[in-house]
């Protein structure tokens, strides 16, 4: 029996890309090769291993039990290998490689983009890939180096670093014309009688409207005349500006529209505060050089004075 390993790292990387993407075509886009090349590589890998790794139908590609187990065990190994290679590439002064982040849409409005842009200017040999997803997936399982989350319980072997504002608020707003025509609610329960614009997670759950004042906390679930997925947060705000109802969103999203007069704050005494987002990643022996540089960059940015919000 041959002692040679039945699979190359390239073949295993293609297999992982198929599992992550859920199909040949999306995997081929990520890898920059043709779908036929991806399919042929997988067939060659399965033949050399003597086991079926994915089940193929005309509509889907899903891992078998053997494939799922292999992917789970390979992901951290190949991630460590990539980190070791990028560490060697960055052994000089310049940081090289790719930083992959899994983030919720909330940080893409005004928190993460300026950080990433400044980071790319600082490190011209680094590229950044951002996967926007609000389903709380495991960042490593998604093929990313790190993730950004709000208030998520972390595994014991994970490290969390604050990114962006230390605290944020959920704010309620509506256009001046809408408030003039429909009146201003005096209590969160009054929202049940008003037209509201709701946001929905990709999981299908509506984002609850939470409120807090003087130790009292409550959740209100108003009817949504317009419901928008979280990826369309800017469109939801635009609808509020155009007079389609009340909206609850991050205060930092709405502040520019308060300043311009396009929106007016509503129920300010009830706006709840919560902890800001955190960058999280697994503790491991070889941290990818781009991730190490980004963690240092985030720490440096947080030491800078934080702009104060108008009360």
40 confidence band (pLDDT: 50, 70, 90): confident
> What is the distance between the alpha carbons of residues 285 and 282, in angstroms, rounded to a whole number?
10
Residue 123 predicted with pLDDT over 50: yes
User: Could you tell me which of 145, 142, 141 has the C-alpha nearest to residue 128?
Assistant: 145
pLDDT tens per residue, range 241-283? 999 999 999 999 999 999 999 999 999 999 999 999 999 988 7
CATH 3.40.190.10 boundaries in the chain: 74-163+283-303
Q: Are 118 and 90 in contact (CB under 8 A)?
A: no
> What is the distance between the alpha carbons of residues 210 and 268, in angstroms, rounded to a whole number?
13
- In terms of CATH architecture, what is 74-163+283-303? 3-Layer(aba) Sandwich (3.40)
Number of helices and strands (H, E) in the chain? 9, 15
What is the average pLDDT across 171-185?
A: 96
User: Could you tell me which of 215, 262, 202, 211 has the C-alpha nearest to residue 238?
Assistant: 262
286 confidence band (pLDDT: 50, 70, 90): low
Residue 209 predicted with pLDDT over 80: yes
Q: Are 275 and 297 in contact (CB under 8 A)?
A: no
2 confidence band (pLDDT: 50, 70, 90): very low
CATH class, range 167-275: alpha beta
What is the average pLDDT across 150-155?
A: 68
Residue 311 predicted with pLDDT over 50: no
> What is the distance between the alpha carbons of residues 73 and 97, in angstroms, rounded to a whole number?
23
CATH 3.40.190.290 boundaries in the chain: 167-275
> What is the distance between the alpha carbons of residues 308 and 83, in angstroms, rounded to a whole number?
38
What is the average pLDDT across 19-23?
A: 80
User: Could you tell me which of 249, 239, 248, 238 has the C-alpha nearest to residue 185?
Assistant: 248
The CATH code that applies to domain 9-63 is: 1.10.10.10
What is the average pLDDT across 94-123?
A: 91
Cβ burial, residue 68 (10 Å; 0-12/13-18/19+) = middle
Angle at which helices 65-89 and 9-21 cross, to 10°: 120
Cα 271 to the chain's mean position, in Å? 24
């Amino acid at each position: 029996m041959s002692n040679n390993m039945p699979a190359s790292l390239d073949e295993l990387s293609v297999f992982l890309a198929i599992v992550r993407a859920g199909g040949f075509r999306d995997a081929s886009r990520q890898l920059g090769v043709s779908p036929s090349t991806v399919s042929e590589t997988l067939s060659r890998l399965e033949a050399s291993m003597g086991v079926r790794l994915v089940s193929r139908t005309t509509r889907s590609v899903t891992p078998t039990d053997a494939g799922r187990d292999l992917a789970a065990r390979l992901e951290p190994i190949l991630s460590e290998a990539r980190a070791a290679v990028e560490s060697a590439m960055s052994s000089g002064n310049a940081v090289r490689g790719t930083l992959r982040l899994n983030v919720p849409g909330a940080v893409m409005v005004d928190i993460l983009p300026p950080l990433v842009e400044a980071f790319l200017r600082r490190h011209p040999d680094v590229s950044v890939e951002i996967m926007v997803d609000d389903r709380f997936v495991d960042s490593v399982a998604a093929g990313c180096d790190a993730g950004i989350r709000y208030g998520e319980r972390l595994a014991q072997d994970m490290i969390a670093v604050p990114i962006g504002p230390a605290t944020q608020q959920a704010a309620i707003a509506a256009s001046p014309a809408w408030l003039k025509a429909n009146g201003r609610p005096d209590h969160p329960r009054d929202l049940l009688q008003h037209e509201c614009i709701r946001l929905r997670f990709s999981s299908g759950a509506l984002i609850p409207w939470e409120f807090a004042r003087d130790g009292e906390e409550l959740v209100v679930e108003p009817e949504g005349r317009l419901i928008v997925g979280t990826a369309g947060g800017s469109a939801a705000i635009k609808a509020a500006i155009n007079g389609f109802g009340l909206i609850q969103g991050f205060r930092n999203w709405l502040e520019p529209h308060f300043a311009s007069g396009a929106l007016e704050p509503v129920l300010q005494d009830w706006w709840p505060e919560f902890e800001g987002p955190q960058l999280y990643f697994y503790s491991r022996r070889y941290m990818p050089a781009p991730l190490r540089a980004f963690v240092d960059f985030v720490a440096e940015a947080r030491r800078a004075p934080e702009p104060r919000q108008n009360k």
